[in-house]
Amino acid sequence: MTLQTVRGVSNITEYAKDRVCWVVLPSSSSVYGDAQQPTSEMTIPRPTNTYASAKLASERILTRFVYRHTVFRIYAGYGNEAHKGEYASPVGIFLNAIQNGKELEVYGDGSQSRDYVYVEDITDIMVRAFQNRQSGLFNLGTGISTTTSELITKIESKTGMKANIKRISAPEGFMSMTQADIISLRSWYKDPMTTLDEGLDRILRQVGL
């Protein structure tokens, strides 16, 4: 997957560099590593795994050779992810486990947190950037970080189902928190962002709960 990511962006870059093209690149907040939160676009990237390293390499390839570009470092995107299996976000994994009575693995006390951003907000912002030719590097999150325990409580409350939690140790290099500084994004994108509660409600309606 990491090699495919770099190859894909390299191919796009090769096509776009000598043409009048505007490229919008979805990158990842994982490039920041376990930095002090919240992270701004000025935070020095320190990837802690190959996925994050590939995302950072892709950014540098594109921005070096394509003048017209927008790069988004996306935080914990989520939506209706029934089709994604093990590649789903924590929201998708937790919803699936709770709905189906499966064991839900939680790292430690569940205090790790993520900045969850709804998929429709992500797509709207990226399309808007392309339409308006909004150049630069932007964090794409909500600026709000929610713990795993808080997320599970929300899902339990909305579904009326109880999570079967198994507590395990976090893997080495696991990021304890992500939270976006979105001052730069909010300088041009003014629409309300979908709250986590609103996003969960939309997903549950889509799956008939």
**How far apart (Å, rounded) are the C-alpha atoms in residues 47 and 139?**
16
113: Cβ contacts below 8 Å, ≥ 6 apart: 145, 146, 147, 148, 150, 176, 177, 178, 179
Residue 72 φ then ψ, to 5°: -115, 125
CA 50 to chain centre: 16
Q: Supply 44's token pair.
A: 């020095």
- Three-class DSSP category at 178: coil
Active site residue 51: yes
> Given 15, 32, 51, 107, which residue is catalytic?
51
Residues designated as active site:
51
